[in-house]
Amino acid sequence: MRDVTRDPAAVEPPVLSRQLRDILSLEDLEPAAQRYLPHCIFSFISGGVETNASRHENRAAFADYDFHPRVLIDVSSRTTATTLFGERYSAPFGIAPMGGSGLAGYRADLALASAAATENVPFILSGASLVRMEEVAKANPRAWFQAYLPVERGAIGALIDRVASAGFQHLVVTADVPVGGNRENLVRAGYTSPLRPTLKLALDAGTHPRWLFGTALRTLRRHGMPYYENSAAERGMAVFSNAATRAHLRDSLSWTDLEWIRDRWQGKLIVKGILAAADADKARRIGCDGVIVSNHGGRQLDGAAAPLRVLPRIADVAHEMTVMMDSGIRRGSDVIKALALGAAFVFAGRPFLYAAAIGCEPGVRRAIDLLRSEVHRNFAFLGSRDVSELEGRVMRIAR
């Protein structure tokens, strides 16, 4: 039965702990992670910015559409397997890049990468990750790399050369971060980057002993102090220190920098954080292979459009360029709506990190399997044998 959704990677399911067996949907992961994580780290993952308007709309947008199933179609051979950039994956979704993942779960960058490799879905390693990219590439040779570009050309070039030498073939440039988001919730929760040793942090950690022993102390004992390993060609700063807050200023970067990268980077080049059709068109003209329509999970500009709402306009101007989407995907039905509205593929962020926190690699595999099973089941209801048979199945609700 599992093989149907697993094309081409038919693998044994992971052995699940009782806690993971009780996780029945991606939505179940958040309360479980909230119990496991210190308040400041849970706030860092779950939060948006300012009023959380975009984070809210990312979910609300899916309710603007409903399904129009077709019946009595033989769907017994249906498959969730999907081709993206010439590679066959077991599902039309992957894992979005998430910086600081190792703060939430033990060596979470590796847990996410390995689970994605085993379950045959794409994984994007964040430029703000804590395990060296070379080690992640060994665990998952098909992982993609996401860069937060340094502002200076020499440093951009050195980073790209390192990414290429490590063996990555897909480079994702995140474009919606000219400055850091206004994360008031983090100030309230006592989260800083790097984390500062304060009494508040000590109390927060001490009242979450499973995280303290299972993630923080285990990491320190086995691997020493974690660093931002991949933000540049050389190691960045430690995650835990009294140093000044990490600078996020990238406000001088422009399309000229992206053109320069296009000339230098031989692999697939993808721009993440696109919400305007005009920008998608620019990306196409300079030769980008794909865009990820995204508002960063509602973590940058509060009030930025929900990606689902702008997706059809962007798909219209994309032509040969691949359009992907993230922000707010939690259910198989969300995946299908995004595909029907023009995405070739989607990504989800927070739920997979919650899964890595509470359940390491088996937890992430469980999350992938749940989401893929929902897509597979809904294909049957919709009378769709694969991702190419969704036409007319999703329509905007006339109000």
Residue 297 found at the interface with ligand FNR (CB under 6 A): yes
Greatest Cα pair distance, the chain, in angstroms, is 64
From the list 28-36, 336-344, 347-355, 380-388, the region that binds ligand FNR by CB under 6 A is 347-355
Q: Which listed residue (146, 192, 215, 333) binds ligand FNR by CB under 6 A?
A: 146
111 and 356 Cβ atoms separated by less than 8 Å = yes
Token pair 């230098």 is found at 264
Nearer to ligand FNR, 127 or 383 (CB): 127
Q: Select the span of 220-228, 231-239, 291-299, 362-370 touching ligand FNR (CB under 6 A).
A: 291-299
Closest to ligand FNR by CB, 7 or 178: 178
Query: Considering the complex, what minimum distance in angstroms separates the CB of residue 125 from ligand FNR?
Result: 9
Q: Which is nearer to ligand FNR, 349 or 362 (CB)?
A: 349
Give the residue, chosen from 38, 92, 94, 97, that forms a contact with ligand FNR under the rule CB under 6 A. Answer: 97
Provide the residue type at 248 as one letter: H
**Which residues make Cβ contacts (< 8 Å) with residue 376, sequence separation at least 6?**
4, 5, 78, 79, 80, 332
Residue 354 DSSP label: H
- Listed ranges 26-34, 126-134, 189-197, 249-257: which one lies at the site for ligand FNR (CB under 6 A): 126-134
Angle at 347 between CA 393 and CA 145, to 5 degrees: 150
Task: Say if CB 212 and CB 205 are below 8 A apart.
Answer: yes
Is residue 181 a contact residue for ligand FNR (CB under 6 A)? no
Q: How far is the CB of 12 from ligand FNR (least distance, A)?
A: 28
Residue 104 CB, nearest approach to ligand FNR (Å):
8
Q: Which is nearer to ligand FNR, 346 or 390 (CB)?
A: 346
Q: Are strands 124-125 and 322-326 parallel, antiparallel or unpaired?
A: unpaired
Query: Does 350 participate in binding ligand FNR (rule CB under 6 A)?
Result: yes
Q: How far is the CB of 182 from ligand FNR (least distance, A)?
A: 15
The answer to whether the CB of 148 falls within 8 A of the CB of 120 is no
Q: Which lies closer to ligand FNR via its Cβ, residue 150 or residue 349?
A: 349
Binding ligand FNR by CB under 6 A: which of 5, 294, 378, 384?
Answer: 294
Name the residue nearer to ligand FNR (CB basis): 33 or 201.
Answer: 33
Q: Quick one: 92 or 383, whose CB is closer to ligand FNR?
A: 92
Question: In sequence order, what are the residues at sequence separation of 6 or more whose Cβ sits closer than 8 angstroms to the Cβ of residue 117?
Answer: 123, 139, 140, 141, 142, 143
Token readout for 253 is 């970067």
- The answer to whether 385 and 78 are in contact (CB under 8 A) is yes
Q: Which stretch binds ligand FNR (CB under 6 A): 211-219, 257-265, 310-318, 343-351?
A: 343-351
CA dihedral 154, 160, 162, 167 (to 10 degrees): -170
324 binds ligand FNR (CB under 6 A): no
Q: Which residue is nearest to ligand FNR (CB)?
A: 349
Whichever of 17 and 185 has its CB closer to ligand FNR, that residue is: 185
Query: Is 296 annotated as catalytic?
Result: yes
Q: Where are the alpha helices (DSSP H) in 238-297?
A: 255-264, 277-285
Residues 6+ apart with CB under 8 A from 209: none
User: x/- string (CB under 6 A) for ligand FNR, residues 13-52?
Assistant: --------------------------------x-------
Instruction: Name the active-site residue from 39, 170, 208, 296.
Output: 296
Regarding 174 and contact with ligand FNR (CB under 6 A), the answer is yes
Residue pointed to by tokens 């994360």: 183
- CA atoms of 386 and 233, how far apart (whole Å): 41
Query: Do 349 and 47 contact (CB within 8 A), yes or no?
Result: no
DSSP secondary structure letters along 80-122: --EEETTEEESSSEEEPP-TTHHHHSTTHHHHHHHHHHHHT--
The neighbouring-strand residues paired with 167 are none
Selected binder of ligand FNR within 54, 79, 231, 327 (CB under 6 A): 327
Active-site residues: which are they? Answer: 296
What residues make contact with ligand FNR under the rule CB under 6 A? 45, 58, 96-99, 126-128, 146, 174, 272, 294, 296-297, 299, 326-329, 348-350, 353
